[in-house]
Structure 1
């Protein structure tokens, strides 16, 4: 890469040259994902399956209770499904000798038995839910936006009553969500959302090359990566995504509107053909990448840690929100719900409890009654590239009681989150 000189200042020129050298040497999205795969895939096997898959397997008995009906009738239906090849013969656990079903097998059976997807019971009728885009946003860093996004995404995907197809869209250039991806060797598409938004305007862009051989909608729909859950995908970010911010500031008002329109009118409809709930992880800054998320979101979720600095910064972010929406093309017409959630909360801390009371006083019904607890289980989960819902106490990564409290707090927040989703 040739370094272009803009000034006669030797110090700034040398610093800029170093920066260009660092950028030319950084990993591509493909390198990062393949590298993550090599770290994440370990020898921890249980009953012949990876630990993370085993942790989400359910017993045949649990599925029968979920499906309902007589034991004999269920047994006959199950045996017939195996006979037809809907699923293979289930694996028997070495510990309790019960038959285990993986998440893909569970969903395959429910599809075979025509169980409804992404809908809700109202009286004796069942109605489809509206597709939902959730922007997890706060200009304050360190408030657990990524943990909130990934935890709620996994909880949504694991909800068999909901049966939603879920997507995590990472718009934070730090790119923490690529840790959840599972690389399919047959997938040669390595694109971020920014790659797709900027499209043919980028130099040396894989998106432009793919357009010569594939339909744009097909490229968009195939860009997300699989995860350990069959109904949860991730479209990761990359540090180079910051280039959209640079382009945005240099663009005219008309060019900026085209960027918003491309995401809103072309990319989002293609993704919503596949996904019911889209959660967007945003960067800790009030800038163009966050504005893109705000433009298409109908649910804004603001995580806040009960700390003095977080309280002040979050107040600034929210107080400017109405003015920010007034500058967006939609003028905020898409936004239907705003909620706040406490993160990393230690109810034994007097200082945190006092700040929590101040947040409750200000937010009132906009604040979830449940919160994410302070727990080393979240740190343990992150070290294994998972959420706390993906851990088992048998792994010994943290104490059983800490894992239980962390998991219960996620489920409690999820219960309120999904009620808000249903209200849209």
Structure 2
């Protein structure tokens, strides 16, 4: 424990530095105890009913293919009840797909002629749940058999932390900055790391990513425009993934704009409060202006989907529901039908750097867990349907 002593500086600049140093030291100590080198983040196991649901089969069918020896027994059996690791579910998909009469029944990955889906979540209002939504979408898709790449474009690295890498205490690895920097960028494949979550890879972020903002103001040119750099990096690994999810910083800078130029679809999360709606209006006014500028500079912007997602939704809060109805009346199907509920289950999971999909249901109030899980499933399903629409599937 760090001894608490009075702050010694009065000069604002020195005081700010002293506070920063003390905070960083305390954070490192806390993180090193919580995320020690031998304390690697792992994923829970899934009971048979949940595994069957993820595979899209009945419990009876799952027991049948085990009995026939089609898929191997899971490594964990508690009192005669099967529990599966995410990797075992992933492997079962591949096995069942081989014997399926319908292509894509168990492995719904993109097929020849279907373009990589690149979804950017953006808003410059803090607290709009961009990172929380991104990680829930990533886990939703990975559990359903898609190959997912998440790209953390926020120098604060919140998404990176939720993927099991702590930017505050790990400095040696490469980040997305290394793939998009102007001076001797590295191959994107060297940046991407596999996570503890099967099917989910990460292009991590750390504070150094903020240098891209400064460097772009100096080095971007008509021959090497800043807005092509993220898309070019992703293109290097395009064949390895079905869906890319990008979490943007809470500002409209070079990183967010370069993400917009790389994206095939956009989601703008916002909470149903007048302050957030007003802020989002200003954000989109600026975004529209910048889109016009980079289009004039040669960027091609074409989105399959451009949607609003209501986050931190409280069904019993009348003013917020009125504002949600207001948004739907204004923008019709531009507002996603599903909403992300404001839930203690999601808040508690996020505090532990987890999604609702990582939480063991029995460790929470079940009704609270079920509402939160159903909410995030609905958001994931709606985005999945839009992905399939973009691919031309029914």
TM-score by length of 1: 0.74
State how far apart, in whole Å, the 1-side matches of 2:147 and 2:321 are: 37
Q: CA offsets per residue over residues 38-69 of structure 1, 9 Å max, x none?
A: 299489xxxxxx6x322477678766936996
Matched, 1:192 2:185: no
Q: CA offsets per residue over residues 354-407 of structure 1, 9 Å max, x none?
A: 2112211222111111101111111110122101121123224xx222221111
Gapped regions of structure 1 (runs ≥ 5): 1-10, 44-49, 83-87, 121-125, 202-206, 208-215
Q: Residues 66 and 226 of structure 1: is their aligned pair in 2 closer, same or farther, counting only changes over 3 Å?
A: farther
Q: CA offsets per residue over residues 144-179 of structure 1, 9 Å max, x none?
A: 1111111111111112xxx21011111011110122
Aligned to 2:44: 53
8 Å Cα contact 2:356/2:372 also seen in 1: yes
Choose from 91, 103, 107 the match for 2:76: 91
Q: Deviation of residue 226 (structure 1)?
A: 2.8
Aligned partner of residue 38 in structure 1, secondary structure: coil
Q: CA RMSD in A?
A: 3.7
8 Å Cα contact 1:295/1:330 also seen in 2: no
Aligned to 1:274: 240
Aligned to 2:124: 139
Q: Residues 278 and 182 of structure 1: is their aligned pair in 2 closer, same or farther, counting only changes over 3 Å?
A: same
Q: Deviation of residue 17 (structure 1)?
A: 12
| 1:24-423 equivalence runs, <5 A | 37-38=35-36, 41=39, 52-55=43-46, 65=57, 75-78=67-70, 82=72, 90-94=75-79, 97-115=80-98, 116=104, 117-119=107-109, 129-159=114-144, 163-182=145-164, 190-198=173-181, 200=183, 217=187, 220-254=188-222, 257=225, 259-265=226-232, 267-328=233-294, 329=297, 331-396=299-364, 399-423=365-389
State how far apart, in whole Å, the 2-side matches of 1:90 and 1:366 are: 45
Q: Deviation of residue 98 (structure 1)?
A: 1.6
State how far apart, in whole Å, the 1-side matches of 2:51 and 2:338 are: 32
Aligned to 2:5: none
Q: Which moved more, 1:172-181 or 1:325-334?
A: 325-334
Aligned partner of residue 209 in structure 2, secondary structure: helix
Gapped regions of structure 2 (runs ≥ 5): 1-9, 99-103
State how far apart, in whole Å, the 2-side matches of 1:128 and 1:409 are: 32
Q: CA offsets per residue over residues 263-316 of structure 1, 9 Å max, x none?
A: 323x11122221111110001111111011101001000001000111101112
State how far apart, in whole Å, the 2-side matches of 1:274 and 1:339 are: 26
TM-score by length of 2: 0.80
8 Å Cα contact 1:177/1:234 also seen in 2: no
Q: CA offsets per residue over residues 125-159 of structure 1, 9 Å max, x none?
A: x8874310001011211111111111111111112
8 Å Cα contact 1:248/1:256 also seen in 2: no
Q: CA offsets per residue over residues 234-259 of structure 1, 9 Å max, x none?
A: 222112211111112233533661x3
Q: Deviation of residue 91 (structure 1)?
A: 1.9
